[in-house]
């Protein structure tokens, strides 16, 4: 049986290090809500839900197998769902959040493909 990155990352979400990684990712790539502690906590919870679904075998990405979903990809997926859904966010905030997603995906593209393709 293949090693499950999704399960390992899901275990990480309960640790302080997951909070730290979330904070650093939001700040480093200039997310417009980086200073909002409530938002950061909600994003971390949504990231854990994406990892839980992936660990259970739900295919959420075209190019990434469920067991290979990592913390970064899960966070971006969770954020993309929020940005794509109609809601209370302004056009400016939506644009800035989409820019954040693009920055992360361009900076670390290896997080969005199966690890066997990197070898």
pLDDT digits (tens, 9 = 90+) for 21-64: 999 999 999 999 999 999 999 999 999 999 999 999 999 999 89
Looking at residue 103, its pLDDT comes to: 98
Identify which of 69, 72, 48 has the alpha carbon closest to the alpha carbon of residue 60: 69
Per cent of the chain over pLDDT 70 is 96
pLDDT at 116: 76
Residue 20's pLDDT is 97
Q: What mean pLDDT is reported for the chain?
A: 94
Cβ(22)–Cβ(75) below 8 Å: yes
pLDDT band at residue 118 under the 50/70/90 scheme: low
pTM: 0.93
């Amino acid at each position: 049986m293949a090693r499950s990155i999704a399960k390992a990352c899901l275990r990480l979400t309960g640790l302080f290090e997951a909070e730290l990684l979330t904070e650093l990712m939001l700040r480093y790539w200039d997310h417009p809500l980086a200073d909002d502690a409530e938002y950061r906590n909600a994003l971390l919870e949504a990231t854990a839900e994406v990892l839980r679904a992936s660990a259970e075998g739900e295919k959420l990405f075209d190019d990434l197998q469920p067991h290979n979903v990592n913390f970064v990809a899960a966070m971006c997926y969770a954020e993309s769902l929020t940005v794509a859904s109609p809601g209370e966010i302004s056009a400016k905030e939506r644009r800035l959040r989409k820019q954040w997603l693009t920055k992360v995906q361009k900076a670390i593209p290896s997080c969005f493909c199966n690890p066997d393709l990197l070898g």
